[in-house]
Structure 1
Amino acid sequence: MNPLERMGRLLSQVVDELAVSDPEFVYCIHPVSSLTVNDGWRKITFKDLATAVDRVAWWLDRQLGSKGGQQVLAYIGSNDLRYAAFVLACMKHGHANASQHLLSSTGCSILVDGSEKRQLKEVLDEIEANSDDKSFERWQMPALWEVFSPMPAEPYKFPHHYSDIEDTPAIIVHSSGTTGLPKPISLSHGFLAASDQIQSLPVPPGRQTAQLFIHYRGKMRFLHGPLFHLIGLACVIECIFYHSPFILAPDCPLTPEVLSQIMTSDSPPVWGMISPYVIEELSATETGRKSLELFASIGFGGAPLSTSVGDSVSSYCRLQTMIGSSETGYTPTLMCEDPADWGYLEWNPSFKLRMESMGDGLWELVLLRPSNRRYHGIFHTHPKLDEYRTGDLFRPHPYKKGLWRYDGRSDDIIVLSNGEKFNPTDAEKTIETHPLVESAVMFGQDRFQAALLIEPRWAKLDTHQPPQFLLNEFGDVIKKANTFLPAHGQIIDSHVALAGITDPSHTGYCRRLRPSVLLTGSTGELGSYLLHTLLRSPSVAVVHCLNRSGDAMQRQISQFESKGLVATLPWLSDPERVQFHQAALHEENLGLSARQYENLREKVDLVIHNAWAVSFNKPLAMFAPLITGLRCLLQFVEHSSRQAHLHFISSIATVAGWHDSRETVVIPESLHDDSVVMHQGYAESKFVAESLCGLAAEYRHIPIAIHRVGQLAVPSTVTAGMWNPRDWFPSLVKTSRTIGELPNSLGPVRVDWIPIVYHIVNPHPIKWMELAPFVSRECSAKLVTLEQWVGQLQQKVGVGSNDQGVNEMPAVRLLEFFTSLVRDQERVQPPLAVSNAQAKSITMRNLGPVDCRMMGIWLEQWKD
């Protein structure tokens, strides 16, 4: 198609044409559930898209009724393909779609609600309640798979020509807000057509365009992020104009595990746009790196990417920086000839612009109006301008002419009182790579010396550390940040401050509103350490403990004393720090009085459900009250005034049946079917509970996190506290001392135990044979095979049936469990994935394997 023909293309008409010329071509691979990849994928063809657009256009027709003139409709909904259907339907219908909340500034009085998440619906309820516009209306958008139903829809005619509506608004988006509050930007049909026309922009001989949607035309594209954002909107539009498919990530954090599932799906993407922050998070884990390696190319923009991360990622995946904005769209560039120049841009000489010196080695990008604006979307947005100052600043490559590195915006520049200038962006970004830094900002406008304000991640700090401790902790990263600053902008120690609870700003005030936590099962083994950790955290206001017993506080004191948790012992009697409630979770109101229940419902921000009976001999039916209790807790969370989050403490037993025939390297951190559950009532009950949590998250939109915990040991650095002697491993050790034999194998079990102050499983499991000789020597027990050891145990069952026998050989109570180890010892189980936990926890990343020193402490505790 020649450029003149392409100039006349309207987006909605292209969809209709593709629905006829290539109806079965896949436009989008969409998660069946918008919140997870576990329910599989659904392919949406161009025919499906055209039908959905017609269906929504007719729906708008019925909704609008007799309303005359052009309307502005605001769509706010879940991050699914209804965005595309709605935008295109509005274009056919002749109404502008405001894809954000800018209702008053756009004259919008109709809000189309496509939300499914409870929190978003509550926000929309508030918008509706606070509207002063008596004509304000709120329409409920049909559900996703109702919009994309396979049933046919009557075509909705769109008899317009490009020349007639070139400057007519097609969609209203918001600016990025980098120069102030976000403002509405009206994008015309001509602006959209510019992104189509750009593919005919001449490229110098022997060079390649850096616009990846052109370079990888027809290849699967990856999209993660909001569809109302420039990147999301551009993907929807470009994949239509460029006849290309894309895969939409679910509306959840892009963890290494989620990306791994996407990259190993039937239709993995070839390239995609990923934000710098997400690239840095993914590249920090092995699972994330392996997934990034599968991309041919990754584009990024919107923020700087750490140089060290970029250099690392570019060694196995082509990185391409891109520049653009809501007002301008993308500015066309060329692929740098050396992949090592991933951080630089080279302008396409066919696109009219100039670089204007701003002093101090900085240059501003200025877009110039050509005789024909077909390539320049900005001059459709601002048709009366002859040039557009972007405010984007760049530095030229030190010796490669024509290469430019983005260096922030003109409003980022700090001008000191002596007239010296510098840009703090890279330094701030570097400091924010520290795991204990939430954010960093430099300031000093019109002052002689610049200063630095760091906001620590207080939630990751166990105690109120003195300021000097934290300043010393940040010393190395500040030195690294100084390498990005000129001499006059250097950060000196005396000019570094911490933002904390004395922060007078509105944000600081909000962060002083520390959460209230509800904890179940606090008097148990894990529960005691959870309560201890919560009490030590400065970010927690008060803990409400729900336990079955009426003397929970006395039992808690005993537990803390026996475990050496003396630091928080005095707080157990302080009702401003912790309150104990006798409860029965499976009963009405959780077994509390109506007044207690309502008080907790209004005050609790976070629920940690840890209470569960640990018994390997009970059948699933015996756990019914616990499952009912979880359902009641979910109901409590769903109706909580503070939109409480639920953290469910599960067990790795729910995936202990996973075996190597599933052809997977690691067991992923996600929900699974019942085929991987250990055949045991306890494990099956936890699986049912996980499934219940999954359904509540998907259909009731309750924020839930599931933590599968492995074998828990006591802290490995103290002798106070004891590993529960009724657990299987202490039982094995004590029984081995009695019978004088120790198994040289634990079957499929790995030594991936983790000290109780940590959670999940140890990321560095070791083989039992590495520890067995040490344990054998300490226990005065000879090494035998696992079969021989269990055979000895079976012979001792009769002897060990009395109280004295059980005390000396406690493993007889767990004979069925140890027998299962023999039965399953040939089964190869993949290791458990821990990339999500490591990505969130510096402790998990630095945790070492269980060693003889730890084992020695535990063995000493189990001596009579």
Structure 2
Amino acid sequence: MSTPHSGEVYGRRLVPHVIDSIANRDPRRECFSIPRSSNPKDGWRAVSYGQYASAIDRLAHHVVKTSGAPHPKAFPTLAYVGENNAVYLIFVIAAVKAGYKALFVSPQNSEETQLHLFQLTDCHVIYHDAMFQRSVQAWLGKRHGMTANLLAPLDFWLADEGAVAHFPYVRTAEEAEREPFVVLHTSGSTGPPQPIVVQHGLIMLGDKLHRLPVWNGSEPAVRGLARSRRNLTPMPFFHAGGLYTFFGFHVYWEKPVAFAITDGPLTADFILQQLAHAPADVDSISLPPLVLEELSTTDRGCEALGRMKFVFFGGGNLNEAAGKRLLDRGVVLQNSFGSTEYGMLPFYWQTNPQEYQWLPIHSEVLGAEWRPVAGEDDVFELVIVRKDDPSSIQGVFYTFPTLDEWSSGDLFKKHPTLPDHWKYHGRCDDLIVLSNGERLNPTAVENALSGHPKVRSAIVVGTMRSQPAVLIEPASHPSGTEEKEALLDEIWPIVLKANSELASHARISRQLILITKSDKPFHRLANDAVHRVPSIKLYEPEVDELYREAEAGWKDAQCSLDLGSEERLLQSVCRLFQTLTYSTIIEPDTDFFSAGIDSDQVVNACRLLRSELRDKSKRINLQSITPKIIHAKPSARRLTAELWGQHIGSVNPVTTDAEASRAMSGLVAKYTQDLPEAPLIKKPAARTSQQTVVLTGSTGRLGAYLLDMLVADPAVAKILCLNRSRDGRARQQRLDASRGLRTDLTGVDFLHADLARPDLGLGVEGYAQILADADRVVHAQWPADSNLALAAFEPHVRA
């Protein structure tokens, strides 16, 4: 644990000084470990404080060389965007030492958002790595006078420890306390993202936590975390949670951390692979609730987490059933909470394992006032009131120095019996926070639905649920079931259109649409606007029942699994997955991932299958129903064969290496034996200029960049994009704009296609025309997911 040296006081030490101090007295002391590659089997390598400090100095000298020495106390803004690795941790301190402030923009922001943030922060220089070269060039084209600097990769900055001149940082805590440390930004879920200038004073509060006393028989949570030898964390470095945890805890408390591999899907299986190969002293882990829920469904997951001293989670509440499964297996869970504006709350270690959802919060230290929310029982908004007490922890007044109190907008429930115990309960504005921590602004969906002539009003709900639902107040209430279904049929296309523009976690399924009752109208304000909170409260019982029915296997009887025969089970599995895709037809041999099933829908499918099978089959191993089985059996027929085999006792729920080998041999044989001779086609050789190129999957992450390259290629005259969606051009332009790619698609034709059909769904004439015109075919309509089994690519071989 960190110890202040002569003349130093906990809470008054600046991060650059702490790093340099440790590097001077113990240069080989480990600061963090980083993955050697994107493959967990390659392991991790340690980075010492000596290496880290030298990397900071090297980059600080580079910043001054490329951007100049700024005027004292001017702190110009330098943006950085790059791969999620430790360059962020080097850049932020290098910028501080050089007299600048770093702006970290989320790589997921749209081009419009990035330009908006550059404007608000008066940023005219951006540093980036090679991965974002194309995006940055697009931003430069739309922001006059902005320049860019390409940075070398991480290994360059960490090389040659000590072979660089020291770059001093001569500010004192008193001088730097109100000076910028870094610029982050809000999520933008309730409007355009706003920059947040994080001051050194807020960061130093992580050091001040050393001085918090034992309270109510418990120690500060940070002391409990410090008992871990090493934590494995997948936090993004451009995000407040990652930066505050690294500097506010790992540096100030001198606890090494292992950074998880984050360039692959954060699935339970991938986390288990990382735990198997991470540094041997990893004995705690920090994870989002959704991944914990998935891990809780398997023996391997529970066993791996049970070996940890504790598991930290944050960003949302953990599903109660998942929490119980983990507790029953001896897993120690600790909740956490914080925000960009005020940092981490001064919460304490939860000593009662059963109360893991509840945060013991020291209200006196925080200056918290818990103000009741009208119409809600035991629900309070957190308001922080300025105190002059030197022992207080009030980061928000570094962010908003002119305020005397700050309404957080965060809601908490008060524990019915335990004092000072609070559980997060969402937001008091319209923002919906789902159980996985994802946020949803419901305004666009509600406005679209309310615009239908048969809908008076719509309210999206779902706080602390796995997915949102919507309440529909009809202009004229249906008189029976048939009229209700007819109304749903009319509004469903609006929901589908809204879903196409939403992230998968925010989409609304038909089974989670509730038509309100004629005798329970929404509460309204004087201007006839819906009074949101009391209206949601009014329908709380119906909403609870709606989610219960959905969790039990969906309200729609079409989704009930029928185990009367293998064929009936197959048809019901098809219907279940068709429901998840909202509109795509799922045939027995349709590849789930080719049909657009994503990772969130896979998780939902597993929940539905387990729920349906729990009371219908005693032989099916429910713990085997995880995303891994769907990746391994990616069609209704193959998944049904596995489930039916378990149900009748003819197969064990295990996929062996031998089975995988047989599958590979079978596919090779299937597509190489008895190949017919290629027909002779009288067609000239493919051109090398004025080419016509056929591209599949242009709206995917890979395909979008391929299309951008083809549009810019002078040797390409025409591009034919074959896509599943019918509005290919509009969708492409929308996605390209969000990725910083060109949106002028002159010379590009978009054709609605089905690659599973012999004529690609283009008709005889259309297919023949492509055969005649095409010089090159680029196939990018395949899922870039390392979890997928070999068989998942069979449709692409057929195509």
The offset of 1:207, in angstroms, is: 1.4
Do 2:30 and 2:46's aligned partners in 1 also have CA atoms closer than 8 Å? yes
Q: After the TM superposition, which residues 399-438 of structure 1 pair with which residues of structure 2 at under 5 Å, given as runs?
A: 399-412=417-430, 427=462, 429-430=464-465, 432=467
The offset of 1:317, in angstroms, is: 1.8
Gaps of 5+ in 2: 106-113, 433-441, 447-457, 479-486, 501-507, 515-534, 555-579, 599-675, 712-718, 723-781
Which amino acid is the alignment partner of residue 394 of structure 2?
Answer: H
* Corresponding residue to 1:185 among 166, 171, 196: 196
Q: After the TM superposition, which residues 9-28 of structure 1 pair with which residues of structure 2 at under 5 Å, given as runs?
A: 9-28=13-32
Aligned to 1:122: 134
The offset of 1:27, in angstroms, is: 1.1
The offset of 1:703, in angstroms, is: 7.8
| Cα distance change on mapping 1:636 and 1:91 into 2, 3 Å | closer
- CA distance in 2: counterparts of 1:240 and 1:264, whole angstroms: 26
Aligned to 1:666: none
Q: CA RMSD in A?
A: 5.1
TM-score, normalised to structure 1, is 0.53
- CA distance in 2: counterparts of 1:272 and 1:379, whole angstroms: 31
* Corresponding residue to 2:385 among 352, 365, 368: 368
The offset of 1:282, in angstroms, is: 3.0
Kindly indicate whether residue 348 of structure 2 is the aligned counterpart of residue 334 of structure 1.
yes
Do 1:230 and 1:325's aligned partners in 2 also have CA atoms closer than 8 Å? yes
- CA distance in 1: counterparts of 2:684 and 2:399, whole angstroms: 58
- CA distance in 2: counterparts of 1:448 and 1:183, whole angstroms: 42
In the comparison of the two structures, how many residue pairs are matched? 532
Which amino acid is the alignment partner of residue 137 of structure 1?
Answer: T
- CA distance in 2: counterparts of 1:290 and 1:408, whole angstroms: 31
SS at match of 1:123: helix
The offset of 1:328, in angstroms, is: 0.5
- CA distance in 1: counterparts of 2:690 and 2:298, whole angstroms: 44
Q: After the TM superposition, which residues 212-611 of structure 1 pair with which residues of structure 2 at under 5 Å, given as runs?
A: 215-216=225-226, 219-237=229-247, 238-251=249-262, 252-265=264-277, 266-315=279-328, 316-351=330-365, 352-359=367-374, 360-361=376-377, 362-372=379-389, 375-412=393-430, 427=462, 429-430=464-465, 432=467, 440-441=469-470, 488-491=539-542, 537=595, 598-601=692-695, 604=698
The offset of 1:757, in angstroms, is: 10
- CA distance in 2: counterparts of 1:171 and 1:364, whole angstroms: 28
Residue identity (%):
22
Do 2:104 and 2:238's aligned partners in 1 also have CA atoms closer than 8 Å? yes
- CA distance in 2: counterparts of 1:17 and 1:193, whole angstroms: 16
Do 1:76 and 1:115's aligned partners in 2 also have CA atoms closer than 8 Å? no
The offset of 1:443, in angstroms, is: 7.3
Aligned to 2:51: 48
Do 2:31 and 2:257's aligned partners in 1 also have CA atoms closer than 8 Å? yes
TM-score, normalised to structure 2, is 0.57
| Cα distance change on mapping 1:310 and 1:61 into 2, 3 Å | same
- CA distance in 2: counterparts of 1:96 and 1:590, whole angstroms: 59
Do 1:637 and 1:643's aligned partners in 2 also have CA atoms closer than 8 Å? no
| Cα distance change on mapping 1:288 and 1:600 into 2, 3 Å | farther
- CA distance in 1: counterparts of 2:721 and 2:15, whole angstroms: 43
The offset of 1:604, in angstroms, is: 4.4
| Cα distance change on mapping 1:429 and 1:382 into 2, 3 Å | closer
Aligned to 2:34: 30
User: Once the two structures are superposed, what CA deviation does each residue of 1:752-797 show, in whole Å capped at 9, x if it has no partner?
Assistant: xx9x9999xxxxxxxxxxxxxxxxxxxxxxxxxxxxxxxxxxxxxx
- CA distance in 2: counterparts of 1:447 and 1:169, whole angstroms: 56
Which amino acid is the alignment partner of residue 403 of structure 1?
Answer: H
| Cα distance change on mapping 1:638 and 1:182 into 2, 3 Å | closer
| Cα distance change on mapping 1:32 and 1:323 into 2, 3 Å | same
User: Once the two structures are superposed, what CA deviation does each residue of 1:437-481 show, in whole Å capped at 9, x if it has no partner?
Assistant: xx54557799999x9999789999xxxxxxx9x856999xxxxxx
| Cα distance change on mapping 1:173 and 1:43 into 2, 3 Å | same
Which amino acid is the alignment partner of residue 84 of structure 1?
Answer: L
SS at match of 2:10: helix
The offset of 1:219, in angstroms, is: 2.2
| Cα distance change on mapping 1:287 and 1:103 into 2, 3 Å | farther
- CA distance in 2: counterparts of 1:153 and 1:283, whole angstroms: 48
| Cα distance change on mapping 1:85 and 1:448 into 2, 3 Å | farther
| Cα distance change on mapping 1:167 and 1:430 into 2, 3 Å | closer
Which amino acid is the alignment partner of residue 396 of structure 2?
Answer: I
User: Once the two structures are superposed, what CA deviation does each residue of 1:609-656 show, in whole Å capped at 9, x if it has no partner?
Assistant: xxxxxxxxxxxxxxxxxxxxxxxx9998995679999xxxxxxxxxxx
SS at match of 1:235: helix
* Corresponding residue to 1:200 among 208, 211, 216: 211
Kindly indicate whether residue 105 of structure 2 is the aligned counterpart of residue 105 of structure 1.
no
User: Once the two structures are superposed, what CA deviation does each residue of 1:78-104 show, in whole Å capped at 9, x if it has no partner?
Assistant: 111110110011111121111114211
Bigger radius of gyration among the two:
1
Gaps of 5+ in 1: 417-421, 433-438, 461-467, 476-483, 499-510, 516-527, 541-581, 609-632, 646-701, 713-753, 760-864
- CA distance in 2: counterparts of 1:170 and 1:45, whole angstroms: 23
Do 2:313 and 2:335's aligned partners in 1 also have CA atoms closer than 8 Å? yes
| Cα distance change on mapping 1:207 and 1:103 into 2, 3 Å | same
The offset of 1:342, in angstroms, is: 1.0
The offset of 1:248, in angstroms, is: 0.7
User: Once the two structures are superposed, what CA deviation does each residue of 1:690-736 show, in whole Å capped at 9, x if it has no partner?
Assistant: xxxxxxxxxxxx983457757x8xxxxxxxxxxxxxxxxxxxxxxxx
Which amino acid is the alignment partner of residue 539 of structure 2?
Answer: H
- CA distance in 1: counterparts of 2:20 and 2:159, whole angstroms: 17
Which amino acid is the alignment partner of residue 126 of structure 2?
Answer: L
Q: After the TM superposition, which residues 674-685 of structure 1 pair with which residues of structure 2 at under 5 Å, given as runs?
A: none
SS at match of 2:382: strand
User: Once the two structures are superposed, what CA deviation does each residue of 1:298-357 show, in whole Å capped at 9, x if it has no partner?
Assistant: 222222322211222233322222221100001111233321111112212551212111
The offset of 1:198, in angstroms, is: 1.9
Aligned to 2:9: 5
The offset of 1:215, in angstroms, is: 3.4
Q: After the TM superposition, which residues 715-726 of structure 1 pair with which residues of structure 2 at under 5 Å, given as runs?
A: none
Which amino acid is the alignment partner of residue 30 of structure 1?
Answer: I
Q: Report the more deviating stretch, 275-284 or 406-415.
A: 406-415
- CA distance in 2: counterparts of 1:40 and 1:150, whole angstroms: 22
Which amino acid is the alignment partner of residue 704 of structure 1?
Answer: A
- CA distance in 1: counterparts of 2:212 and 2:324, whole angstroms: 30
User: Once the two structures are superposed, what CA deviation does each residue of 1:172-201 show, in whole Å capped at 9, x if it has no partner?
Assistant: 111233543321011111111112112212
SS at match of 1:600: strand
SS at match of 1:262: helix
- RCO higher in 1 or 2 (8 Å CA, sep ≥ 6)? 2
Do 1:407 and 1:423's aligned partners in 2 also have CA atoms closer than 8 Å? no
- CA distance in 2: counterparts of 1:590 and 1:535, whole angstroms: 36
* Corresponding residue to 1:83 among 78, 84, 88: 88
SS at match of 2:36: strand
Which amino acid is the alignment partner of residue 341 of structure 2?
Answer: E
| Cα distance change on mapping 1:601 and 1:757 into 2, 3 Å | closer
The offset of 1:211, in angstroms, is: 3.3
User: Once the two structures are superposed, what CA deviation does each residue of 1:393-444 show, in whole Å capped at 9, x if it has no partner?
Assistant: 112122333322211111148999xxxxx9986x555453xxxxxx545577
- CA distance in 1: counterparts of 2:251 and 2:86, whole angstroms: 13
- CA distance in 1: counterparts of 2:396 and 2:594, whole angstroms: 54
| Cα distance change on mapping 1:284 and 1:473 into 2, 3 Å | farther
Q: After the TM superposition, which residues 120-199 of structure 1 pair with which residues of structure 2 at under 5 Å, given as runs?
A: 120-131=132-143, 133-134=144-145, 136-151=146-161, 152-199=163-210
